[in-house]
Structure 1
Amino acid sequence: MPRRPNMPRPDDVPGFPARRAALRLLDAVLRRGDPLELALHGAAQGLPPADRALVHAIAAEVLRHLPDLDALIDGATRQVLPDDAKARMVLRIALAQALALGTPAHAAIATALPLVDGGPRKLVHGVFGTVTRAEPTLPDPPTLPAGVLERWAGQWGDAMPQAAAAAYAVRPPVDISLRDASETAKWTAELNGASFAPGHVRLTEGTDIPALPGFATGAWWVQDIAAACAARLLGPGAGRTVLDLCAAPGGKTMQLAAAGWRVTAVDQSKKRLERLSENLARTGLSADIVAADLRQWQPDAPVDAILLDAPCTATGIYRRHPDVLHRIGPHQIAELAELQGELLTRVAGWLKPGGRIVYATCSLEQAEGEAQVERFLSAHPDFALAPATADDLPNGMTPAPQGWLRTLPDTLADRGGVDGFFIARLAKATN
């Protein structure tokens, strides 16, 4: 379609580059299956920090409200737009701004229309107008994708997806782990927080993390309380050796070092290991750092303990990363479960007799947790579950009857909730 003489060029429309980057980012997530945080760098390359933040906010809100946005779009069109139609994606971007981010409707559509330059501008403008004139509101809590609802209900029962949806509507809290657990009362008071366990503080909402007392001096680091339970299950180190596998960015490495373990931290990503090194430097803690693929690397000698925070679908952190609800399905779950089983079997051979493995995943899928450990134990009679106890865990968390820890969307829900995790402690026979 030829451009009318008075029609501005897309790049001349204020705010357009950020919306174009948001379109690229959503395409990377929904079509290619790229993680949101990783795809952001390429999609928003060259944009100033404020625009990058806007790109992330637009994409995150589209993903958080995707089923509800699509329902509004479908209710305003005579023929259903294909899921991958550019017009549908542009409408999602415009409506997410108007209905979730508080952008005035005229600004939301003005910056979105150039995205379909040469395409169905009248359709996009008409559908947007039809929807916004009705003054809709997005459901609270947001509707979870149908495939996720079905999968989680099948594993956990109908109440779990309802709790997951309710948790989705609440901003995830910020937890910190302390370098010195004996200072829990001090930092709880100084940071005006709440503590559920020695060495833990939950911060008040809306805090500027780097500006808080103790951050620059390395007295603490940000770490969800459920994630912190993995290292807690290994207890004090007393100079013994431990492998922290898939270690970056280093929260568990720092926990273990602070608890007196001699830590070797292994991760495949050199870039993420740079963050781990920076975190160790800030906190004054130490660990040996190895950049390696666990399927090829092995330690020089057996160790006393292993913490395997295995690569997983990360569906347990969907509140912080809504893209996982749209990128992850049965194929990805099966693929990662196979990798987890391979790694768990491999690292079991690196343990001294009487040693312990803590296996953890930030996943709400039983294939990556309960089923994984049951399969491992049936194939390795020299290992047994070393049950977690209430004393091992923060207040309000209880181990499952089988002895492992499973956190779900209703865990600590009355205090802000926690990430979804599975953690099991496995003990090797002494002979």
Structure 2
Amino acid sequence: MPTAPGFPARRAALKSLDAVMRRGETLEQAEAAALKGVDGPADRALARAIIGESLRWLTDLDLLIDSATKKRLPDDAKPRSVLRLMLAQALRLGTPPHAVIATCLPLLTGGPRRLAHGVFSTLMKREVTLPDVPTLSDAVLTRWGNRAETIAPGLIDPPEVDLALKNAEETEARALEMGGISLADGHIRLPRGTPIEKMPGFAEGAWWVQDLAAQLPPRLLGNGEGKRALDLCAAPGGKTLSLAARGWNVTALDISGKRLEMLRENLKRTHIEAEVVKADALTYHPAKQFDAILLDAPCTATGTCRRHPDVLHRIGPRAIGEMTEIQQSLIHQAVSWLPSGATFVYAVCSLEFEEGEDQARWIDETFDLEPVPITAEELPAGLQPTKEGWLRTHPGMLAEAGGLDGFFIGRWRKL
């Protein structure tokens, strides 16, 4: 077995890439299994960086590989996968070519090894480079249409770390203390790589990690002042924490016991209270009425492509169709629980029209709900609602400040 330093990290990256591209696993699922044989946080971080950059720039890496082979390698050929990892390291992570060869070629044997060595050496001699912006696949370009050109620049690098503060009045002081920037009251952005547990305020529960876009749905319900709110599909809990911190009496419902444990841990650390209910939302019967319901619905999560670039390659029409059906079932349930005058917020971390804009139009046509347009005054500087009064964010927005995830959010009131 090869013993070159760094080889286990490359082997784990190959296993992860294979699990995503051939078996359709999520990157989190793939890494959980692949990283079991990798010791030490540095090597684990390296493996994650290699697979992340390989997926982020996959289309461009494949174009380079194809330019140096007489016969195109099959998409699932092991030499192609290894070459993707090799080029990602050389062109994105700055790994010296000799180190790439020493740690990656042992992943192959015989003819495939000689082939990969030859292709990689040829490309290095040509001094190839990647484009300034990742090239999206034809399938993604077709789905996203004109938006793709503005989304792609937000995918160049992994995202920085966003924090949501329990007490928004501490924003300026906390940002100064932590050396971060703030894009909204109650928000701080820090450079990626900062150890979470060592940040000031972690032990005392002053904040939790949550992308800026994910912080917006609960903000759009305003201050609770003791009123009741139901957070549907609540785990791991960022929106529950946000609602409770804004004075809502929150019931947090989710079907996953494991993810609810994370929610309980966050509640305990932040000293925030909420009722936690493990139940299937499609069969749940609330014993009380709510003044507001927030449904951050299960979705394809293509809006998280900055941190989960696997969604760029494993999500297609079938997955989108399945999710839209689940979303409509959950919307039916949520709306049936709304008393007159109650507010309903629907959100998804998806960039797909079917899960966002199309669902909002369906809500308008199907239910006795009055749209409550989102206003620019409710949003961080630089974001604007759509003409319909919805909010659509994507990774290319606020690019000068580091971007944000892709979300769709709509708001209504029960008549």
**Superposition TM-score tier, normalisation by shorter sequence:** over 0.9
Query: What are the superposed Cα offsets for residues 177-198 of structure 1, whole Å, 9 maximum, x if unpaired?
Result: 2111222232233333333332
1:395 aligned to which of 381, 386, 396: 381
Query: What are the superposed Cα offsets for residues 373-407 of structure 1, whole Å, 9 maximum, x if unpaired?
Result: 11122111x11211112232222222111111111
1:218 aligns with 2:218: no
The alpha-carbon deviation at position 139 of structure 1 amounts to 1.7
Structure 2 partner of 1:22? 13
Matched residue SS, 2:264:
helix
1:262-273 matched pairs, under 5 angstroms: 262-273=249-260
2:137 aligned to which of 140, 145, 148: 145
Structure 1 partner of 2:155? 168
> How many Å separate the matches in 2 of 1:414 and 1:103?
27
1:242 aligned to which of 184, 204, 229: 229
Aligned residue pairs total 414
Query: CA distance change for structure 1 residues 188 and 22 in 2, over 3 Å: closer, same or farther?
Result: closer
Query: CA distance change for structure 1 residues 408 and 21 in 2, over 3 Å: closer, same or farther?
Result: closer
The alpha-carbon deviation at position 18 of structure 1 amounts to 2.5
The alpha-carbon deviation at position 265 of structure 1 amounts to 1.0
> How many Å separate the matches in 2 of 1:324 and 1:17?
25
> Are the counterparts in 1 of residues 298 and 323 from structure 2 also a CA contact under 8 Å?
yes
* One-letter amino acid of the structure 2 residue matched with residue 39 of structure 1: A
Structure 2 partner of 1:370? 357
Structure 2 partner of 1:32? 23
> Are the counterparts in 2 of residues 301 and 350 from structure 1 also a CA contact under 8 Å?
no
The alpha-carbon deviation at position 268 of structure 1 amounts to 2.1
2:44 aligned to which of 52, 55, 69: 52
The alpha-carbon deviation at position 302 of structure 1 amounts to 2.3
Q: RMSD value over aligned CA atoms?
A: 1.8
2:323 aligned to which of 317, 322, 336: 336
The alpha-carbon deviation at position 226 of structure 1 amounts to 1.5
1:108 aligns with 2:100: yes
> How many Å separate the matches in 1 of 2:37 and 2:104?
20
1:123 aligned to which of 107, 115, 134: 115
Structure 2 partner of 1:7? none
1:414 aligned to which of 384, 400, 406: 400
> How many Å separate the matches in 2 of 1:406 and 1:88?
36
Matched residue SS, 2:93:
coil
Instruction: Name which one, 1 or 2, has greater alpha-carbon Rg.
Output: 1
> How many Å separate the matches in 2 of 1:11 and 1:415?
43
- TM-score, reference length from structure 2: 0.94
The alpha-carbon deviation at position 119 of structure 1 amounts to 5.0
The alpha-carbon deviation at position 350 of structure 1 amounts to 1.5
Structure 2 partner of 1:290? 277
> Are the counterparts in 1 of residues 135 and 152 from structure 2 also a CA contact under 8 Å?
yes
The alpha-carbon deviation at position 225 of structure 1 amounts to 1.8
The alpha-carbon deviation at position 297 of structure 1 amounts to 2.4
The alpha-carbon deviation at position 46 of structure 1 amounts to 3.2
Query: What are the superposed Cα offsets for residues 29-70 of structure 1, whole Å, 9 maximum, x if unpaired?
Result: 111111101221111213213332222111111101111111
Query: CA distance change for structure 1 residues 106 and 194 in 2, over 3 Å: closer, same or farther?
Result: closer
1:252 aligned to which of 239, 251, 264: 239
> How many Å separate the matches in 2 of 1:82 and 1:176?
42
> Are the counterparts in 2 of residues 268 and 293 from structure 1 also a CA contact under 8 Å?
yes
Matched residue SS, 2:23:
coil
> Are the counterparts in 1 of residues 10 and 103 from structure 2 also a CA contact under 8 Å?
yes
- TM-score, reference length from structure 1: 0.91
Percent of residue pairs identical: 56
1:63 aligns with 2:55: yes
Query: CA distance change for structure 1 residues 234 and 342 in 2, over 3 Å: closer, same or farther?
Result: same
List runs of 5+ in structure 1 lacking aligned partners. Answer: 1-9
> How many Å separate the matches in 1 of 2:157 and 2:377?
29
> How many Å separate the matches in 2 of 1:46 and 1:409?
33
> How many Å separate the matches in 2 of 1:169 and 1:58?
14
Structure 1 partner of 2:126? 134
> How many Å separate the matches in 2 of 1:366 and 1:42?
33
1:323 aligned to which of 291, 310, 319: 310
* One-letter amino acid of the structure 1 residue matched with residue 243 of structure 2: L
1:383 aligns with 2:374: no
1:232 aligns with 2:232: no
The alpha-carbon deviation at position 74 of structure 1 amounts to 0.6
Structure 2 partner of 1:425? 411
> How many Å separate the matches in 2 of 1:410 and 1:85?
33
> Are the counterparts in 2 of residues 345 and 376 from structure 1 also a CA contact under 8 Å?
no
Matched residue SS, 1:351:
coil
The alpha-carbon deviation at position 355 of structure 1 amounts to 0.8
The alpha-carbon deviation at position 109 of structure 1 amounts to 1.9
The alpha-carbon deviation at position 115 of structure 1 amounts to 1.9
Query: CA distance change for structure 1 residues 100 and 271 in 2, over 3 Å: closer, same or farther?
Result: same
The alpha-carbon deviation at position 346 of structure 1 amounts to 1.5
> How many Å separate the matches in 1 of 2:256 and 2:410?
25
The alpha-carbon deviation at position 174 of structure 1 amounts to 2.6
Matched residue SS, 1:113:
helix
> How many Å separate the matches in 2 of 1:70 and 1:41?
26
List runs of 5+ in structure 2 lacking aligned partners. Answer: none
Matched residue SS, 1:44:
helix
The alpha-carbon deviation at position 170 of structure 1 amounts to 4.1
